[in-house]
Amino acid sequence: MKIMKFGGTSVGKPERMHEVAQLITKDATPKIVVLSALSGTTNSLVEISNYLSTGNRISAKASIDKLEAHYRKFITELVKGENFQSKANSIVTEHFEFLNIILRISFSDALNKDILAQGELMSTKLFCVYLEEKGIDHLLLPALEFMSIDANEEPAFTSIQTKLHALLQHHSDKKLFITQGYICKNAKGEVDNLKRGGSDYTASLIAAAANADVCEIWTDIDGMHNNDPRVVDKTMAIEQLSFEEAAELAYFGAKILHPTCIWPAQQENVPVKLLNTMEPDAAGTTITKEAGSVGVKAVAAKDGIIAIRIKSSRMLLAYGFLRKVFEVFEKYKTSIDMVTTSEVAVSVTIDNDTFLNDIIKELEPFGIIEIDKNNTIISIVGNEIAETKDVMKRMFDALEPIPVRMVSYGGSHHNISLLIDSQYKREVLQLLNKGLFGL
Ligand code: ASP
Ligand code: MG
């Protein structure tokens, strides 16, 4: 079994959907194809929801109409035959009728999730109409019948596995399944989602649940690159990464892959491939248990980082101090990215400032608190870089003109993290591209 996930841009135009149909029928391997919403749709749905949450029905209606026009046009180029046109039209009608009805009912969080689900529901149904017109045998597996999260909003993996198995068993005569990324049911049985960009997560969860041979993530670039192509001129695709390396890169800024999407595949040891719809024969990036090679592979940057420094002479020779500090972050469900300590101070970084004021208030009894905003974490990722002798030297040589605020090294065998003021980000990525990759 092979899982193939196509993102918003890969299904965002009728001709792209046609290409997807070709890619999924190239070989006879049984497949589950996971689709995102057409590019831009989820953003529009968020906008509609936001208007409704503030009672702005007029703007919500205008956005709904604009989106509907987009879909009406889309289907004129998606399918040709009259009865397929009318099938596609009735799908669009059904979903926009729903959106128009919600204009008249009171807004709630559950309704918001229902609104956000419309994109993937439509993209998959419309794609199936196209497959039908092409005479390609397939089955639409509704994600809401097997994909779920528990009360902590974590995937209910055992249940997903059981339900998916039952569905596949029930349709064992089928070889091609289409399903929605992103959407799921929550513990209350309501429609919910795996957060923005969550279709990758869906694909990885399905790959793990179905114990697939491979999980292919199709996007519009040829894999994970060694640096941010938006910032530096020359970058190259990375051939192979370990799950750990890929997770670090995804978390620390490489936009191609959703950070949560690594663990399910890793848990069941399913290789993940990042491939390019525009260049389907390019090798892309393969993510497996093995790292493939030793040394530095990539750098990535994550903005919007807040550093919190707690200085206290009480820390001197004391035990249990760090636990008390960490408990405060745990209480406010705020995760810490970097930690450095000295004998009288500890610095941590966070990227979520929702509870910053509460956190500061609770930390104040521990010592003097300093807050430092607008930072960027630069993450240098590679296999056994802690054991690769010259990496630190090359890194610091390259960064000679840059004031580095924090360094985290040795936490794992495949990561060095630096904290810098965000104003230096571009320069740092460029300097490291030269210093570490000679590009
Ligand atoms: N459509 C959703 C989003 O745009 C999920 C995804 O594309 O992965 O966030
Ligand atoms: Mg997307």
Tens-digit pLDDT profile for residues 352-407: 999 999 999 999 999 999 999 999 999 999 998 878 888 999 999 999 999 999 99
Alpha-carbon span 125 to 96, nearest angstrom:
14
Q: How far is the CA of 414 from the centre of ligand 1 (A)?
A: 29
pLDDT for 312 beyond 90: no
Question: How confident is residue 259, by pLDDT bands cut at 50, 70 and 90?
Answer: confident
334 Cβ below 6 A of ligand 1: no
pLDDT of residue 319: 83
For every residue of 372-437, DSSP letters joined together read EEEEEEEEEEEETTTTSTTHHHHHHHHTTTS---EEEESSSTTEEEEEEEGGGHHHHHHHHHHHHH
Q: Which of 220, 244, 261 is the last residue of a domain?
A: 220
182 Cβ below 6 A of ligand 1: yes
* Whether 316 and 191 share a structural domain: no
Q: Whose CA is nearest to atom 5 of ligand 1?
A: 197
pLDDT of residue 305: 97
* Whether 18 and 134 share a structural domain: yes
pLDDT tens per residue, range 199-222: 999 999 999 999 999 999 999 888
pLDDT for 73 beyond 70: yes
Q: How far is the CA of 134 from the centre of ligand 1 (A)?
A: 27
117 Cβ below 6 A of ligand 1: no
* Whether 146 and 9 share a structural domain: yes
* Whether 202 and 329 share a structural domain: no
pLDDT of residue 68: 98
Question: How confident is residue 252, by pLDDT bands cut at 50, 70 and 90?
Answer: confident
pLDDT tens per residue, range 401-435: 999 999 999 888 889 999 999 999 999 999 999 99
pLDDT for 254 beyond 80: no
12 Cβ below 6 A of ligand 1: no
195 Cβ below 6 A of ligand 1: no
Ligand 1 atom nearest the C-alpha of 119 is 1
Q: Which residues contact 167 (CB under 8 A, 6 or more apart)?
A: 141, 145, 146
181 Cβ below 6 A of ligand 1: yes
* Whether 208 and 332 share a structural domain: no
pLDDT of residue 246: 93
Secondary structure of 3-21 as H, E, C letters: EEEECHHHCCCHHHHHHHH
Mutation test residue for ligand 1: of 182, 195, 219, 256, the one with most atoms within 8 Å of CB? 182
Q: Which two tokens mark 255? A: 């936009």
Q: How far is the CA of 182 from the centre of ligand 2 (A)?
A: 9
pLDDT for 273 beyond 90: yes
Kindly report the pTM of this predicted structure.
Answer: 0.90
* Whether 347 and 209 share a structural domain: no
pLDDT of residue 316: 66
pLDDT of residue 320: 84
pLDDT for 106 beyond 80: yes
Does 40 fall in a domain? yes
pLDDT for 4 beyond 90: yes
Which ligand minimizes its atom distance to the CA of 220?
Answer: 2
Does 48 fall in a domain? yes
* Whether 349 and 204 share a structural domain: no
Is residue 280 classed as helix, strand or coil in its secondary structure?
coil
Question: What is the CB-side half-sphere exposure of residue 410 using CA atoms within 13 A?
Answer: 3
Ligand 1 atom nearest the C-alpha of 202 is 8
Q: How far is the CA of 216 from the centre of ligand 1 (A)?
A: 16
Does 210 fall in a domain? yes
Alpha-carbon span 285 to 32, nearest angstrom:
20
Does 254 fall in a domain? no
* Structural domains of the chain, count: 2
Does 147 fall in a domain? yes
**CATH, residue 12:** 3.40.1160.10
Which ligand minimizes its atom distance to the CA of 143?
Answer: 1
* Whether 215 and 302 share a structural domain: no
pLDDT for 317 beyond 80: no
* Whether 301 and 199 share a structural domain: no
Q: Which residues contact 199 (CB under 8 A, 6 or more apart)?
A: 5, 7, 34, 35, 36, 120, 181, 182, 258
Q: Which of 191, 220, 249 is the last residue of a domain?
A: 220
* Whether 201 and 308 share a structural domain: no
Beta bridge mates, 336: 350
* Whether 206 and 311 share a structural domain: no
Q: How far is the CA of 419 from the centre of ligand 1 (A)?
A: 29
pLDDT for 318 beyond 80: no
pLDDT tens per residue, range 33-66: 999 999 999 999 999 999 999 999 999 999 999 9
197 Cβ below 6 A of ligand 1: yes
Question: How confident is residue 313, by pLDDT bands cut at 50, 70 and 90?
Answer: confident
pLDDT of residue 264: 96
CB neighbours (10 Å) of residue 256?
19
Does 287 fall in a domain? no
pLDDT tens per residue, range 137-152: 999 999 999 999 999 9
pLDDT tens per residue, range 76-90: 999 999 999 999 999
Question: How confident is residue 2, by pLDDT bands cut at 50, 70 and 90?
Answer: very high
Q: Which domain holds residue 365?
A: 297-437
pLDDT for 315 beyond 90: no
**CATH, residue 373:** 3.30.2130.10
Question: What is the CB-side half-sphere exposure of residue 370 using CA atoms within 13 A?
Answer: 7
8 Cβ below 6 A of ligand 1: yes
The number of angstroms, rounded, from the C-alpha of 176 to the middle of its chain's C-alpha atoms is: 25
Q: Which of 220, 239, 272 is the last residue of a domain?
A: 220
pLDDT for 288 beyond 80: yes
Span 174-197, average pLDDT = 97
Q: How far is the CA of 317 from the centre of ligand 1 (A)?
A: 49
Q: Whose CA is nearest to atom 6 of ligand 1?
A: 197
- What is the rounded average pLDDT for all residues in the chain? 95
Alpha-carbon span 169 to 191, nearest angstrom:
25
Question: What is the CB-side half-sphere exposure of residue 423 using CA atoms within 13 A?
Answer: 4
Ligand 1 atom nearest the C-alpha of 196 is 9
Alpha-carbon span 170 to 131, nearest angstrom:
21
* Whether 190 and 316 share a structural domain: no
Does 157 fall in a domain? yes
Does 228 fall in a domain? no
Percentage of the chain modeled with pLDDT above 90: 87
